[in-house]
Structure 1
Amino acid sequence: MGHKRRNAGPRHYRPLGVLLGAIAGGVVFGGAVATAKDGLAADGQALVEERCSACHQKEADGSLHRIDHVRKTPEGWTMTLFRMRQFHGVALSDEEQRTLVRHFADRQGLAPEESAPYRYVLERRPSVVEEPVNDGDLTVMCARCHSVARIGLQRRDADEWRRLVNFHLGQWPTIEYSAQGRDRKWWEIASTEIPQTLGGKFPFKTDAWTSWQAAPKPDLSGRWAVAGHRAGIGSYGGTATIAKADGGYRITYDLTDAAGKPLKGEGTSVVYTGYEWRGTGTLDGKPVREVLAASRDGGRLDGRWFLTRQDEVGGTLHAVRVGGNDSRILGASQSFLKAGTSARITLWGSGLDRGEVGFGPGVSAKILSRGPTSVTVEATATVDATPGARSLTVGKAKSDGFAVYTKLDSVRVEPDFTIARVGGNGGAVPPMTAQFEAVGYLNGPDGKPGTEDDVRVGPMPASWSVEPFNDAAAQMEDVKFAGTMGRNGLFSPTGAGPNPQRQFGTNNIGDLKVVGTVVDGSTTLTGTGRLISTVQRWNDPPIH
């Protein structure tokens, strides 16, 4: 029960044509949705009656067996419909599947509070390490095969969870004989304790869902202030304009990076369940997808964008509406300032054209340019400016996450563990990269590095190298064969397939120590992390 599961970079590329087609026909990442002229495809309930009710019979209360007793995310419903098509031969066009996903997600989705703890898997965030579930045997019984998030993004009562257990045993009859199954009374636990635990932890009926069903759903059209960060590249910000289009929305981005380089983008989206934004488009000329969540009042969007074919490559995205009386700071072009130096810093947000700009004692700010969604200053820290965490202020707006430092106390490589995957080399699956940052820290009040009270300064310019993680990696010459580390901390794995130049003709996998070196004045600091470059992922569902 003490182990942690690692979710390292699931990918959207699927070599199986039928799987790719089914998933593409499921969750709509933007684009037009069914309209009245599409006939049956436009009517979700009619499709349910036509395509589903033959097997899922009506119960005494009029509900359909199984279907009407489950709540899921759009991705969860996509996986269900794929299984119906693939395993049970249900005849659905891609357009009909898209209609059903939207129908089910709107009627039987998750409330914002219910999906919030597990958004990392929907946003395809790489390098997430899940904590074990502390309820009975759930970690061993359920999360040894898939993520905790896959369980947490469903809602059922105990009886329906029991039916899911029965399905698991019918679909994978050897499950109770596999590792961590045969060492316990698997069926007894799975059929009695587990459904009750899941029904209590993730019940079908909740106050949160009842409240969200009754709540008015926000119109997200309008002008938005935007900010975010892409690891290895830096921060960015600007504005986005959202307009209604074809049953969804159209969005246009006008952003700049930390150096002032323009980043243009545009795309379309569909919003499920009243808040689940799924978009597709381009950013800086590259095809991207977006997974965002709108706040209950429709005043904020938060989530992540990523490259369509490389979902480990992407960045955070935070947005608030422009206008109104409130001022908000969403982000800054850099998160630190060294005592005795000056830097040009841009703050992004809403209502930033009024009020004094402040970085705390010992730091002055000369305004260079200013508007409602950004303010650029020349910030200067005195030599004796007190080091530590600071709050940025613009008028009444306040944001934490800024630091002043005299010298760094330590450097950490972030993430401290992640996975890359070989690929390409004539194969169907491209390689999966891994991105690292060298982040400077100050010791906290306890005066010790590596403790919870440390102050995060921010990503620093660094030089990068890799070493064997252990003796076995050295013996197999993993550094030579596994891949290369770029100047900005991006690891690129070597091509897939057996390599006759390696011992045993094995793949170009490797177990590596990642070393980030930062020069801070006359001091050189290093941080380390671990990277396992492994084989391709062949089965890649929307939720692992």
Structure 2
Amino acid sequence: MTTHNKKRVPLAGPALALAVMAAPALAATEAGEELIRNNCLACHSDTGNSETPFSRISEQRKTPEGWLMTINRMQELRGAQISTEDKRALVQYLADHQGLAPSEAEPYRYLLEQDTNLVESGVDEGLGQMCARCHSAARFSLQRRTEDEWKRLVGFHMGQFPTIELHSLARDRAWYDIAQNQTAVELGNKFPLITPEWNSWKAAPKADLTGRWRVLGYVPGKGEFTAWMDASKSETGYQLSLEGQYSDGSALSGKGSARVYTGYEWRAAIEIDGVKMRQVMAADAEGSVMDGRMFNTEAREIGGELMAVRDQGQPAVVAVLPAHLKLGESAELTIVGQNLDGDVSLGDGVEIEKVIARDGDSIRVLAKASGAAGARTVSVGDASKDQALAVYDSLARVEVTPANALSRIGGNGGEMAKVRTVYRAVGYAAGADGQPGTDDDLRLGYMPATWSIAPADEVAAHDKDEKYAGAIDASGIFTPGDAGPNPERKMSANNVGRLTVVGSVSDGGNDVTGEGSLLVAPQDFVRRVLD
């Protein structure tokens, strides 16, 4: 692992070195345990066991969001009196000392990033019926517990939700016996408290994430952007400043703060041009790249992908925008990077007809491709990025994302706002086999699309769902209809509906379309906001 912004200090000997290295961790542990004693031992107990010092608490590992939900539940249902300052410190301590390793959290990052418009796949059938019928599979997959603690969780569900055995997929079986004697055991085996991944991550050095970061992202309604983000140390984490521009050339700027949990979980609150946003990203082990999502604080569905690459003083090609170029056509491309210097190459058969603008951060060119279709390596001097540009002959298919989405009516004088949905179109060219829809399709990246909605089926057409359930704008943002009864609909029904979202991409005079499924539903009256 490389280290950043650190000076090597001569030490007197191995014993002194160990003491210097261990002191901060020991102090943090003592401070964290004192926080638990001061805030939690009215109900929990000190076990006297150094491995699991606190009953229940020490037998679990969770994400920062998981620990926050636990503390909120203790406050609201158990009357725990915890100050805001102690609450933040507790989440920090518990996530740092009883969190998840990067490899443990990685398959379920969509939940952490609040990107929940997807259908989970690969869920064990038994766990799906016993657990994921009420909440996402990611919810329990982002926890680690001892087998006894999983069994206690079953007991909690019975005590807190006594009608659980009467629900669908529960009343047709001996739910409690299965949950206690089979499901909890399976969860204990699948998601145990102690794992090699966690032991390895605990022992690994953690990167300092201060510095200058090249950021690429997407804001619905605004478009893709590139920016520089500066992260400097603060008392609780990092202070942030962001300066950049959208793809249409308009400027963006912002300031905020960030915390890092478990050595890699980046959580930032940042205000960009007056809009409060949140960043949820995971840093790699070296602290050189972070990936995740940024979304509107007040409307988590309004967000997009986010990537940050640290400026380490070396030339780097980060991306090419757009990431596709059609054979035989001239188009403008922008190479985004840092410390760019030297000759530019867009790969075999791609001619740079003109350099429009150039500096150390980006290079804008007019390019034309010939030769064979396929992915190209883009390089500037000694810096390069594999498969950064897709050269294609024709657009074969369009994938609308999300493929399955849920939107919710709202507003109209009510307290619950509308829940919108953001759509984007991803283009693909046929691979070597010439058949679109196979594994070797060439991904072209996001492409501009024309958006429309249609009824999902005959019933939806009869009920005119496309008229009442909402509308989609030119940037792909669907806004559902108003809450409450609608006198124009049969029996004054509300504005729910089933729709098909159609994205149409123009390619050389041909329009290629893709479709997504959208359910416009009533308000989520049980949704909790756990800030």
Q: Does the C-alpha gap of structure 1 residues 131 and 200 become closer, same or farther in structure 2, counting only changes over 3 Å? A: same
SS of the equivalent of 1:137 reads: helix
CA distance in 1: counterparts of 2:353 and 2:74, whole angstroms: 60
How far has the Cα of 1:92 moved from its partner? Answer: 1.6
How far has the Cα of 1:243 moved from its partner? Answer: 0.4
Which residue of the partner structure matches residue 411 of structure 1? 398
Which residue of the partner structure matches residue 35 of structure 1? none
Match of 1:478 among 465, 480, 485: 465
1:125 equivalent in alignment to 2:111: no
Identity %: 43
Q: Which moved more, 1:227-236 or 1:84-93?
A: 227-236
Which residue of the partner structure matches residue 189 of structure 2? 200
Deviations 1:189-231 (A, max 9, x none): 2111112211111111112222222222221111112223446
Which residue of the partner structure matches residue 242 of structure 1? 231
Which residue of the partner structure matches residue 93 of structure 2? 103
Match of 1:267 among 256, 259, 264: 256
Aligned residue pairs, count: 498
Which residue of the partner structure matches residue 319 of structure 2? 331
Which residue of the partner structure matches residue 358 of structure 2? 370
SS of the equivalent of 1:517 reads: strand
1:502 equivalent in alignment to 2:485: no
CA distance in 2: counterparts of 1:540 and 1:376, whole angstroms: 46
Q: Which moved more, 1:431-440 or 1:197-206?
A: 431-440
Deviations 1:238-279 (A, max 9, x none): 321110123211111122222332221221111122221111
Which residue of the partner structure matches residue 511 of structure 1? 498
Letter in 2 for 1:481: Y
Which residue of the partner structure matches residue 443 of structure 1? 430
1:523 equivalent in alignment to 2:513: no
SS of the equivalent of 1:114 reads: helix
CA distance in 2: counterparts of 1:167 and 1:422, whole angstroms: 33
Match of 2:372 among 386, 400, 406: 386
TM superposition score normalised by structure 2: 0.88
CA distance in 1: counterparts of 2:525 and 2:122, whole angstroms: 25
SS of the equivalent of 1:432 reads: coil
Q: Does the C-alpha gap of structure 1 residues 50 and 411 become closer, same or farther in structure 2, counting only changes over 3 Å? A: closer
CA distance in 1: counterparts of 2:229 and 2:341, whole angstroms: 18
Deviations 1:123-182 (A, max 9, x none): 111422211423x61111111111111111111111111111111111112212211112
Q: List aligned pairs for 1:146-295, cutoff 5 A.
A: 146-230=135-219, 233-295=222-284
1:73 equivalent in alignment to 2:63: yes
How far has the Cα of 1:232 moved from its partner? Answer: 6.3
How far has the Cα of 1:341 moved from its partner? Answer: 2.2
1:402 equivalent in alignment to 2:392: no
CA distance in 2: counterparts of 1:292 and 1:520, whole angstroms: 34
TM superposition score normalised by structure 1: 0.86
How far has the Cα of 1:77 moved from its partner? Answer: 0.8
Which residue of the partner structure matches residue 20 of structure 1? none
Letter in 1 for 2:522: V
Letter in 2 for 1:461: P
1:50 equivalent in alignment to 2:50: no
Which residue of the partner structure matches residue 85 of structure 1? 75
CA distance in 2: counterparts of 1:210 and 1:443, whole angstroms: 44
CA distance in 2: counterparts of 1:149 and 1:542, whole angstroms: 18
Does the CA contact (< 8 Å) of 2:346 and 2:376 recur in 1? no
Q: Relative contact order (C-alpha < 8 Å, sep 6+): which is higher?
A: 1
SS of the equivalent of 1:306 reads: strand
How far has the Cα of 1:542 moved from its partner? Answer: 6.5
Structure 2: 5+ residue stretches without partners: 1-29
Which residue of the partner structure matches residue 9 of structure 2? none
Which residue of the partner structure matches residue 54 of structure 2? 64
SS of the equivalent of 1:347 reads: strand
CA distance in 2: counterparts of 1:541 and 1:201, whole angstroms: 28
CA distance in 2: counterparts of 1:280 and 1:364, whole angstroms: 40
Letter in 1 for 2:74: M
CA distance in 2: counterparts of 1:435 and 1:403, whole angstroms: 25
CA distance in 2: counterparts of 1:144 and 1:346, whole angstroms: 46
Letter in 2 for 1:53: L
Which residue of the partner structure matches residue 524 of structure 2? 537
CA distance in 1: counterparts of 2:430 and 2:261, whole angstroms: 44
CA distance in 1: counterparts of 2:100 and 2:140, whole angstroms: 13
How far has the Cα of 1:365 moved from its partner? Answer: 5.9
Does the CA contact (< 8 Å) of 1:281 and 1:288 recur in 2? yes
Does the CA contact (< 8 Å) of 2:218 and 2:305 recur in 1? yes
Which residue of the partner structure matches residue 14 of structure 1? none
SS of the equivalent of 1:199 reads: helix
SS of the equivalent of 1:129 reads: coil
Which residue of the partner structure matches residue 347 of structure 2? 359
CA distance in 1: counterparts of 2:394 and 2:308, whole angstroms: 33
How far has the Cα of 1:413 moved from its partner? Answer: 2.3
CA distance in 2: counterparts of 1:301 and 1:421, whole angstroms: 31
Q: Which moved more, 1:476-485 or 1:292-301?
A: 292-301
Letter in 2 for 1:165: V
SS of the equivalent of 2:107 reads: helix
Deviations 1:414-471 (A, max 9, x none): 2222111111111112111112223332122332222222222233333222111111
Which residue of the partner structure matches residue 17 of structure 2? none
How far has the Cα of 1:43 moved from its partner? Answer: 4.8
Does the CA contact (< 8 Å) of 1:232 and 1:436 recur in 2? no
Letter in 2 for 1:445: A
Does the CA contact (< 8 Å) of 1:362 and 1:386 recur in 2? no
Letter in 2 for 1:260: G
Structure 1: 5+ residue stretches without partners: 1-41
SS of the equivalent of 2:348 reads: coil
Q: CA RMSD in A?
A: 2.2
SS of the equivalent of 2:208 reads: coil
CA distance in 2: counterparts of 1:537 and 1:212, whole angstroms: 38
Q: Which moved more, 1:490-499 or 1:393-402?
A: 393-402
Q: Which moved more, 1:410-419 or 1:230-239?
A: 230-239
CA distance in 1: counterparts of 2:445 and 2:43, whole angstroms: 56
CA distance in 1: counterparts of 2:222 and 2:396, whole angstroms: 24
Letter in 2 for 1:106: D
Which residue of the partner structure matches residue 19 of structure 1? none
Does the CA contact (< 8 Å) of 2:485 and 2:493 recur in 1? yes
CA distance in 2: counterparts of 1:400 and 1:266, whole angstroms: 33
Does the CA contact (< 8 Å) of 2:350 and 2:367 recur in 1? no
Which residue of the partner structure matches residue 112 of structure 1? 102
Q: Does the C-alpha gap of structure 1 residues 201 and 58 become closer, same or farther in structure 2, counting only changes over 3 Å? A: same
